[in-house]
Amino acid sequence: KAGVTQTPRYLIKTRGQQVTLSCSPISGHRSVSWYQQTPGQGLQFLFEYFSETQRNKGNFPGRFSGRQFSNSRSEMNVSTLELGDSALYLCASSLSGLAGGAYEQYFGPGTRLTVT
């Protein structure tokens, strides 16, 4: 079974631009979560989608948004990029985030975003 895939793997953007990152979960997984990893803040939860609905959101500004499609693929968008948005963005999928469901999250290889 194929793992979680993320595209693109590397991205360089200029401050003020916007960017869209894509994530395809493991086949059969309906929950997709996004995380930001930086040397200073570590791994921080951005948001989680389940059945095309955002179920949870971390403490990030509204410039960070996402969506999930009917095939469970997800995209996250960052508008008006700032230098501090430079990070590794990780996507993780799981079978279900609901109580009683499986909670293991399986991660993709990440997208390395550099903002100049």
Partner 1 sequence: AQTVTQSQPEMSVQEAETVTLSCTYDTSESDYYLFWYKQPPSRQMILVIRQEAYKQQNATENRFSVNFQKAAKSFSLKISDSQLGDAAMYFCAYRSVYSGGGADGLTFGKGTHLIIQP
Q: Which residues bind partner 1 (CB under 8 A)?
A: 33, 35, 42-48, 55-59, 88, 90, 92, 97-99, 103-110
Closest approach of partner 1 to the CB of residue 89, in Å: 11
24/68 Cα distance (integer angstroms):
10
Closest approach of partner 1 to the CB of residue 50, in Å: 8
What length does the chain have? 116
Handedness of CA 34, 71, 106, 96 (dihedral sign): positive
DSSP assignment of 54-111 equals EEEE-S--TTEEEEE-TTS-EEEEE-S--GGG-EEEEEEEES--STTS----EE---E
Closest approach of partner 1 to the CB of residue 43, in Å: 4
Closest approach of partner 1 to the CB of residue 69, in Å: 20
Nearer Cβ to partner 1, position 17 or 41?
41
Nearer Cβ to partner 1, position 59 or 70?
59
Nearer Cβ to partner 1, position 14 or 53?
53
